Structure 1
Amino acid sequence: MEKLQCSVCGGALVMSDDGEKAVCESCGMSFKKETVKKMIMELSGPVKVEGIQNSDSLADRAETFLRMGETGKAQAAFRQMADEYPSDYRGWWGLTRTMDWEKYFHDGGLDEAVMPQTCQRAIDFAPEGTKEEIRAYFEERVRSVKPDTDKKLQQEAAEQAEQQAAKQAEQAAREASQQKIAIYQQAVKQEERRVEEARNRVSYLELTIRVNADQIKDERKLTNNQKTGDRRPITLGNILGLFFGGALTYVVWFEEFHPIGTPIATLIGLGLPLLFIIRRLNRTKGHFDRASELKQELKQAQQELPEARKALEEAKAALAAVKEARPN
């Protein structure tokens, strides 16, 4: 690549330290940064592989871009030089100077800084006098850049830990809330079952009282003759049947005895009335026993009903208290 020349006198142009302009060594004419860019693009053109002269041209172009602040273009030129001339330290040295050291140290973490490959390759191929310069540059980067990246990494770690703690606290709060809701729902179901059981108990006792009272009345009707007021089974019919049967037995035994007819008439005259009386006595006893059992059940139900109603009211109150204490 040809040297940049002054368009006035043809002297060599040298970039200023700030990279904002180029100054002619002969006449002192200055050229703006944009003008120098155009000169570089016109003179550089496509780079041909023609030995050491081409590596020098690539190095000059890359250095010029670097002085002008065009870091991306300079890095691309140094990369091309490192690919095509890997044994020339200038390509690796240029990549070392144009790399993003903050990102490099950030990606490397908080561990001790490791020299990047580009820097190491530059040292491997650099002349002896330049090796120390490259090492000093790396050490200076470690001193000036890594503390800031380490501080940033620590801040990020602290923020991540804080976010993680917040997430854990939120998850714990969510789980605690879900647990409270589950306990609440279980308590509601338990109290609802308690209310339902008490309500069923009250309904059963009320039905028992009503039914037993009706059945007791029916049993009294069965054990008493409602028309005559006589107690069963000793009714007028029983007495008359027994009287006529006794008369028939007297006649057949003392007036008209017959070996066969007399026992048969006796069995009919006395046996049948006695059989009806025994049958009625058993049935009446059953009715009295049933009425007694119903009276006992009725009495027990009447005693238990107030307690059941009280339990029902307590269960309803407990259910209302549980629902009122519903967790958010």
Structure 2
Amino acid sequence: MIAPGIAHPEHEFMAGLSAPSPATVLLITGPELVDSWKPFLAWKKRLGKPVRILSTTQISERYEAKDLQEKIRRCIRNHTDHLGTRWIILGGDSEENGGGVVPSRETLHRTQSGELTKVPTDIYYLSKKDWDSDNDGVYGEWEQDRESIDYPDGDVGLGRIPVRRSEDVKAYTEKVIAYESRYPESEFATSMAYASAKTSLPTGLRTRWDDKISKVLAGGSVRYFFPTSEKNKGFGPKEWITLFNGLAYGKLHLTGPGRHDAWLFKNDTKITQAEIFQLNNREAYPVITTTSPYTGQF
């Protein structure tokens, strides 16, 4: 007996719909961007990673749930649990109140000052549960919904590509192809930099290279950049630009406070679009990961 609303392969592909061919990647996007993503799908297929694309409209029609976000979650769990999918791409930006190309799930959290605020999250989509124990339509309340909050175990990867227009998808696809087809064969490929807006790096970041990353980037190296108390020394916007344009690091992790329109450094200095336009690292695009409350336009 299948629980109501839980979609299984035979349910999704009923009514004349054929079952999909095996795909290790599932890309979810808005119906208006499906055609724009096809060159990306073709490229990934050449690399041996077949991609299946579903629009939010298709998911909405094929799955039963109380809103689109829950339908997307059930679709993703269907693919990871039954169809061998191991990577999920949310191919579109999100906006407040469930808007955007692919909406995020807004959860209710209490800030350090005690105020309740909505915090968007995508981790919800990998959860085995719906984050709403009391069924009140307010998700992620720690006291009320704790029993239904479930975090992923790391077996499946999920990421968002925050595009809004066909032009965005085209630009992103061109960069992916350039990156994956002409990746520099040098120390760039195995060198990593940790950069922080704070005056010190967390202990976990300092040990992560030795514990995990160095085992993947065999023979690689790591450097740490962060502000100091000494005048005219440390890490700020100028050093950030040099880090990119120097073409020395293929992996870059940024940690510290972010804002919707900038990346913050010491003494309120920041990285904005003005600094972005000074980059000239064409054909040497680093993989960038971030840890911050918000990254926004940055």
User: What band does the TM-score fall into relative to the shorter chain?
Assistant: under 0.3
Per residue, is there more helix in 1 or in 2? 1
TM-score by length of 2: 0.21
TM-score between the two structures when normalised by the length of structure 1: 0.19
Structure of higher CA gyration radius: 1
Report which of the two has the higher share of strand. Answer: 2
